[in-house]
Amino acid sequence: MGVRGERRRLSLRRRAAFGLCLPVAVVAGVLGLFEASAVKVEEVRAPVAAPAAPPEHRAAAAAGAIDDWASDQDSGVFAMAVLDRRTGEYAESGGARTTLYSASLSKLVVAVDVLDRSGRIGEPDLDLVRRALGPSEDEAMNALWERFDGPGAIGRVAGALGLSDTRPPADPARWGETLTSARDVVRLFEHVLTGMDPADRDFVMTALHDAPATGGGGFDQRYGLGAVPSSGVKSAWMCCQQARTTLHSAGVTDSSHRFVVALLSSQPAVGYGPAREKLTEAATVLRAGLDN
């Protein structure tokens, strides 16, 4: 597996629903944030003598950097999608639409479903959500999966948000085998930031921001986007289905929540240590692209 030689697929997109105030030069004619077809890009100039500067293309730079990096890897799938919420630019690497096991990213899907459809829930259930998101405790997720119809939650959120690559696991008891993609995870985080009730949004983001370095079962969560200070990252890990190590890192990279990033991987089952190192390397490349 892997994305060696795969033709780079970058897209620059903007959804009017984001409601962002862009610079003078803006992206227009967007057919949809996650549509596979090409979009027409036009520059709109204000009626002044000097033309405005074009928008920054940091998301595209990051996607290109990941594609270049991934082409040099011997094995594994490395998929990335990024949304620049300041400019509306969206870009993805060649593997961003590849369907992978979600591992603990399914905890965020269930949390969104519970909070969006349940209104006020009791503190015991809120504590389960908090523990599933931050420390990523499997016991808390097991309880939420049972209490709030986990397989149904995956389907409801996928349908409501248009997550075309996300679906419940084939075995309803195995929530870690929920399927998703990098582009769907970015869309999910954007819903958390802009579509949820502000109190629920703050609850979710605080739980992620306060995630301990050591997660459930003593797992080291300081990898990928979480290897450096961030403002809210969900780590996910699972081994060794189909002789693969599933390792993901997704969230926002700064306190302003400018960049929403999903960095997903399916790597050979050679141990979590090497897999963490590889995903952290990918995150370093990604961040360099965003900082250019």
CATH of the domain at 210: 3.40.710.10
Give the count of beta carbons closer than 10 Å to the beta carbon of residue 50: 7
Here the tokens at position 90 are 């969206």
- 3 falls within a domain: no
Determine the Cα–Cα distance for residues 168 and 113; give it in Å rounded to an integer. Answer: 13
- pLDDT number for residue 104: 98
- 175 falls within a domain: yes
- pLDDT number for residue 75: 87
- pLDDT number for residue 38: 35
Block residue for tokens 């692209």:
289
Here the tokens at position 15 are 């959804």
- 6 falls within a domain: no
- 45 falls within a domain: yes
- 164 falls within a domain: yes
SS3 78: strand
| Contact status, residue 163 vs residue 184, Cβ threshold 8 Å | yes
| Total of domains in the chain | 1
- pLDDT number for residue 264: 98
Burial degree of 164 (CB within 10 A; 0-12, 13-18, 19+):
middle
Give per-10-residue mean pLDDT for the chain (292 aa): 36 35 36 37 40 68 95 92 96 96 98 88 95 98 97 98 98 98 98 96 96 94 86 94 96 92 96 95 93 76
- 130 falls within a domain: yes
- 230 falls within a domain: yes
Residue 137 — left, alpha, or beta (φ > 0 → left; ψ -120 to 50 → alpha)?
beta
Determine the Cα–Cα distance for residues 7 and 5; give it in Å rounded to an integer. Answer: 6
- 211 falls within a domain: yes
- Which structural domain, as residue segments, surrounds residue 27? 16-291
Nearest-5° Cα angle at 276, 73 to 69: 25
